Amino acid sequence: MTSEPIPFLDLRTPHRELEAELLQVVQQAFRTAGFIGGPMLQAFEGAFAAFCSTRYCVGVSSGTDALRFALLAAGIGNGDSVITVPNTFIATTEAITQAGALPEFVDIDEHTYNMDVAKLREYLETMCWLDSTTGSVISHRTGKRVAAIIPVHLYGQMADMDPILALAERYNLLVIEDACQAHGAEYFSKRQNRWYTAGSMGRAAAFSFYPGKNLGACGEAGAVTTNDEELARIMRMLRDHGQAKKYYHEIEGYNGRLDAIQAGILRIKLEHLARWNEKRRECAQRYQEMLGSAEGIVLPYEASSVKAVYHLYVVRVQNRDDLQRHLTAAGIGTSIHYPIPLHLQSAYRALGYEKADFPVTERVAAEILSLPMFPGLTPAQQSRVVEQLLEFVASTSAQVA
């Protein structure tokens, strides 16, 4: 008996379901020739700001631009260091470098795979010194002012924002959330005694709408959310060649706008995001129930202060590469996010980091595997994934015994 392959991600079904509505967006753009800016962009920006409970949303052409524009608008650049984690997509550090600053890393937490707040504190306390004339914190490592922290809400989880924000206040640092994988994730702040949506806690937050994201465009797209009016004003100029009025360039900017067609598509898809996220949570719950007692597999950890949206469902196993081969042979799609930590990437050799600098990230990178996860994943498909996983784990432990 042959079984249908199980994709890592099914992007076709949601587009088939929404095809008629999405085509109307394209038709509307053709009929009005409104390809750049205009009502479709404004409608999406308003709707996404409301979804994130922020005052402003600035649509841009990618999540990378969103991060870069947020840093630049906040005045971060040459002479600055920005702290982030080595377990993230390279866009986080590309944005830092391309803004003119230097990335510095702190390790991740063993359970959440997001920024380890104890390591962040230790870094600020022991690897930096306070310049009392300026009030700035200076990194021993780079000799530069530590200007900002970018916590990454990886896999649709949330970084532990309360202590991160407290440390940022204490050391006068800006916080820009990388929420590119966390549309709609929530965090309960004990400091404020309320839930917050990802993207509403930092000075600004970056979102990617790359097609495979929980909210994905039909091409490249991104956005920044913020409650800071001035920051929003500067980011609107940065995305549009530094102009607020056509051909009056207050600053030098970029070509980083969000297309009207993508904005129109995103506004329609946004209406379904909460339901899709709920389905992802149900799938995660099912994996948890099916795999809960299995030995040799570490399942995702969801802190009680977090409602994760499972952009990715990441498990950890020994012999990860063998498991991936086993699942591929069984027709099951998987992926690795990410196989090589950023501090060990060739692109960052000049930063001077070495192997064993971030032991948790390095250990995790060798063991993580992202299983199929998308809103339409069926219980039957999950059963097959789990069956193959358990078969592999049983055969490897039999070999060991």
Ligand X SMILES: Cc1ncc(COP(=O)(O)O)c(C=O)c1O
Least separation in angstroms between residue 373's CB and ligand X is 14
Stretch that binds ligand X, among 59-67, 126-134, 192-200, 294-302 (CB under 6 A): 59-67
Burial, 54: exposed, middle or buried (Cβ in 10 Å; 0-12, 13-18, 19+)?
Answer: buried
Between 60 and 385, name the residue whose CB sits nearer to ligand X: 60
> Using CB under 6 A, which of 124, 173, 180, 218 touches ligand X?
180
Residues 19-48 that bind ligand X (CB under 6 A): none
Q: Which lies closer to ligand X via its Cβ, residue 308 or residue 323?
A: 308
The least CB distance from residue 12 to ligand X, in Å, is 20
**Residue, CB closest to ligand X:** 63
Nearer to ligand X, 63 or 184 (CB): 63
User: Contact between 388 and ligand X (CB under 6 A)?
Assistant: no
Smaller CB distance to ligand X: residue 208 or 382?
A: 208
Per-residue binding letters, 63-92, with ligand X (x by CB under 6 A): xx-----------------------xx-xx
Footprint of ligand X on 294-353 (CB under 6 A): none
Q: How far is the CB of 4 from ligand X (least distance, A)?
A: 28
Which CB sits closer to ligand X, 202 or 222?
222
| Between 216 and 372, CB nearer to ligand X | 216
**Which residues in 101-160 contact ligand X (CB under 6 A)?**
152
For position 262 contacting ligand X by CB under 6 A, the verdict is no
What does the DSSP 8-state code read for residue 106? Answer: -
Work out which of 222, 253, 264, 372 binds ligand X, going by CB under 6 A.
Answer: 222
In 150-269, which ranges are E strands? 174-178, 186-189, 194-197, 204-208, 222-226, 243-245, 248-249
Number of residues that bind ligand X (CB under 6 A): 14
Determine the interface stretch with ligand X among 60-68, 133-141, 266-274, 325-333 (rule: CB under 6 A): 60-68
Q: Which of 22, 57, 59, 62 binds ligand X (CB under 6 A)?
A: 62
CA angle 262–373–303, rounded 5-degree value:
100
Q: Between residues 152 and 308, which has the closer beta carbon with respect to ligand X?
A: 152
Residue closer to ligand X by CB (options 94, 110) is 94
In the complex, least distance from residue 368 CB atom to ligand X, rounded to whole angstroms? 15
Question: Which residues would be at the binding site for ligand X (CB under 6 A)?
Answer: 62-64, 88-89, 91-92, 152, 178, 180-181, 208, 210, 222
